[in-house]
Amino acid sequence: MGQFRAADLLRRKPVGRVIAEGGEHLPEESLDRSIGLFQLTMLGVGATIGTGIFVALTTAVPAAGPAVIVSFVIAGITAALTALCYAELASTIPVSGSSYSYAYATLGEFTAFLVGACLLLEYAVSASAIAVGWGQYLNEMFSDLIGWRMPDAIAKAPGAGGVFNLPAVVLVGACLVLLLRGVKESVTVNAILVVLKLLVLLFFVVIAFSGFHAGNLTPFAPMGVAGIGAAASSIFFSYIGIDAVSTAGDEVKDPRRTLPLGIILSLLIVTGVYILVALAAVGAQPWTAFAGQEAGLAVILRNLTGQAWTSLILCVGAIVSIFSITLVVMYGQTRILYAMSRDGLLPSVFQRVNRKTQSPDLNTWIVAAFIALLAAFVPLDTLVNLTSMGTLIAFAIVSLGVIILRRTQPNLPRGYRVPFYPLVPVASVAFCAYLIVGLPLDTWLLFAAWAAAACVVYFGYSVRKSKLAG
């Protein structure tokens, strides 16, 4: 609490202390370890599958054309390299906070705070973007069932032809209610929803491939390599599930084993499904038809079959899917805030745990209110690119953390070690940098404004309140 020194920016939290404060020795403020491997894997799949397919194709395909398939492959390779790095750090530092906690132990407090700010941006904006897409499929379902659509004024955000996105706010409210009941109930519901959405996507693939036309794949890359990179950058936000898995560190059974397995398994499932669905979608209709196409996958099925019931099934699947993603992403953000508050970098309100539900209730209310406001008033494309920026920076930091921790503390117990070290973490950083460069200028400017606001909070509050300052 004394005078600020430049050295304070580099102070690191010892790994042993990070683990000790992971809920194992603070029962009055700890979270309950109730998540097994299957539930954790479904948490990662639930936070990932759906966003890039149900929502982002309408922005990614116009940018890359049929080569969006390659964009998904590039994003998948980047995510795979990063997932291996996440797996090592998660098995070494098995606590809540994901890349924030890893950065605190490897790169110092100021970097960790900025990573935490990136994660908060990533989670809040991702949940908002997903919630915006939910209204599109809800409207399509109403159209198929009763021939009625919600007016744009209450179904879209300002800047996208609306005034207030009511469905998005309703979705966030429903997730809030479930999260307040406790994590055990939340992850169980999520696992059920994930299985349902996988079945719905399989249904889409089967029908879409029945109407597959090779001619729809030409010209394959009308926007060239730049278009492929731009699309990969914009869809990368959908891989947030990797980070969401590691935010559950304090609530996972046998975390040193379960965390790395959950991260790798969820990524394998996600990448395979994404590429398969993207190939089926771009083969089923001309790439030029995707631009501005709301509830795109449902429209593809209706056009192929001429039957409203196929579109209805897809809409119901999308509604269920997007609910599960929003649920997990909101969960992840509350745990990041919990970890930062526990370190003194944010006010203590974010770490207060309801003893009955073992859930940070006030934290959850604050997160829900912020996400609902973003979803109600900000257009989808702006949200998508901002989330990609935050995700990519956090992923790059994790990969750097593996290299630093290997050098500074080579003898730490590691439940999993990155193969082909240091090639994998270096390649992960390079791929992340490539995708960051592909993001548009307005995303860079918005992110710079967010980083500046984070610096104001850190230097005005966190640097003096930090538990490492005492």
Angle of the 183-210 helix axis to the 166-180 helix axis, nearest 10: 140
Alpha carbons 78 and 435: distance in angstroms, whole number:
9
What 8-state DSSP symbol labels residue 31? P
Place of tokens 């996507």: 201
Decide if pLDDT at 30 tops 80.
no
Mean pLDDT confidence for 237-249: 69
Does residue 470 sit within a domain? Answer: no
Q: In the structure encoding, which two tokens stand for residue 376, read together?
A: 């109600």
Q: Has residue 99 been placed in a domain? A: yes
Q: What's at 352, amino acid-wise?
A: R
Categorize the per-residue pLDDT at 141 as very low, low, confident or very high, splitting at 50, 70 and 90: confident
Phi/psi of residue 211, each to 5°? -110, 20
Mean pLDDT of 301-328: 82
Q: How confident is the model at residue 25 (pLDDT cuts 50, 70, 90)?
A: very low
Confidence band (pLDDT; 50, 70, 90) for 27?
very low
Cα separation, 54 vs 333, in Å, equals 22
Give the DSSP H or E segment for 234. Answer: helix 224-235
On whether residue 8 sits in a domain, the answer given is: no
Q: Distance of CA 379 to CAs 158, 159, 165, 318, 392, Å?
A: 7, 6, 10, 19, 21
Residue 206 lies in a domain: yes
Mean pLDDT on 239-261: 72
Could you tell me how many helices (H) and strands (E) the chain has, helices first?
19, 0
- Amino acid in position 80: A
Residue 468 in domain: no
- CA distances to 42, 76, 190, 364 from 179, rounded to whole Å, are 16, 29, 11, 8
pLDDT digits (tens, 9 = 90+) for 366-395: 888 888 887 777 765 666 677 778 888 888
Domain that holds residue 152: 34-463
Domains in the chain: how many in total?
A: 1
Lowest mean pLDDT: which of 31-35, 240-244, 446-450? 31-35
Query: CB atoms < 10 A from the CB of 447, how many?
Result: 20
Task: Look at residue 369 and tell me if it is in a domain.
Answer: yes
**Residue partners of 84: CB distance under 8 A and separation at least 6:** 264, 418, 419, 424, 428
**Comparing 28-37, 82-91, 271-280, 350-359, which segment has the lowest mean pLDDT?**
28-37
Taking only the tens place, the pLDDT of each residue in 445-467 is 888 998 999 999 999 999 888 88
| DSSP string for residues in 62-73 | HHHGGGHHHHHH
Better-scored residue on pLDDT, 250 or 281: 281
The answer, yes or no, to whether residue 295 has pLDDT greater than 70, is no
In this structure, are residues 61 and 285 in contact, taking their beta carbons and an 8 Å threshold?
A: no
User: Is the four-CA dihedral 410, 416, 419, 424 of positive or negative sign?
Assistant: negative
Question: 21 in a domain, yes or no?
Answer: no
Which two tokens mark 296?
Answer: 């795109």
Query: Looking at the DSSP assignment, which residues form a beta bridge with residue 354?
Result: 359
CATH of the domain at 231: 1.20.1740.10
Task: Report the sign of the C-alpha dihedral through residues 208, 209, 213, 216, in that order.
Answer: positive
Q: Is residue 441 part of a domain?
A: yes
Report pLDDT for 382. Answer: 65
Q: Return the half-sphere exposure (C-beta side, CA atoms, 13 A cut-off) of residue 78.
A: 30
